[in-house]
Amino acid sequence: MDLPFSQISKEKDNYSSVNIISRLIEGVGYRYYWASNNLRLEDLNFKPSPNSISTYQTLEHIYVLSLTVKNTLLNKINIRPPDNIPKSYDDLRKKTLKNLELFNKNILKENEIDLNMFKIIFERNDFKSSFPFWNLLNGPIADIIYHTGQIVSFRRSSGNPINKGVNVFLGRTKK
């Protein structure tokens, strides 16, 4: 299965807002790609304590966050609670990475865009709320990074540490 973000692309020529956000998403995708790669059933079921959520439940949460990221750029409403969460690990991982990839492809279509035109829109029980693009950075995107770190920790605790060749600084992985 050929999935996006196994590595980060070469640097862009300038530091436009679009390029910076794209690079941030590539970093998020790269971290998630390797944190979620080759998880075993015991990794997916792992909980650090009886009252915490499992690695699989964390992957589901990250998927929902990736939908919010994608939907913001498409000006789509995020229905809460979400429905149609993929039921298998492979689908969950693939669709999460594809959501991030779609966001990146769309944001890079423009040289420079007015990010104020994008809103995070939630709907719960016929009540809508809207937030500026800024909240995407410190909200869902930062949350994906946070929870991806949890997956790295959980898989280490369940005896399946992340590939030692992963280099998040360079965005490359030694085979």
Per-residue pLDDT at 33: 98
Residue type, 50: P
For residue 174, pLDDT over 80 is answered with yes
For residue 91, pLDDT over 70 is answered with yes
| Tens digits of residue pLDDT in 140-172 | 999 999 999 999 999 999 999 999 999 999 999
Nearest to 96 by CA among 171, 168, 25: 25
The pLDDT-based confidence of 115 (bands split at 50, 70, 90) is confident
The pLDDT-based confidence of 1 (bands split at 50, 70, 90) is low
Per-residue pLDDT at 168: 95
| Tens digits of residue pLDDT in 10-21 | 999 999 999 999
Per the DSSP assignment, residues forming a β-bridge with 172 are 167
Domains, the chain: 17-173 (1.20.120.450)
The pLDDT-based confidence of 27 (bands split at 50, 70, 90) is very high
Output the six-digit token pair for 19: 């390029």
**Sheet containing 119-124: order of strands:** 77-80, 119-124, 127-132
For residue 111, pLDDT over 80 is answered with no
The span from the CA of 35 to the CA of 90, in Å, is 13
> 127: helix, coil or strand?
strand
The span from the CA of 117 to the CA of 52, in Å, is 38
Per-residue pLDDT at 149: 98
The proportion of the chain whose per-residue pLDDT surpasses 90, expressed as a percent, equals 90
Contact assessment for residue 39 and residue 160, using Cβ atoms and an 8 Å cutoff:
yes
The span from the CA of 8 to the CA of 155, in Å, is 23
Asked if the peptide bond before residue 81 counts as cis, ω within 30 degrees of 0, the response is yes
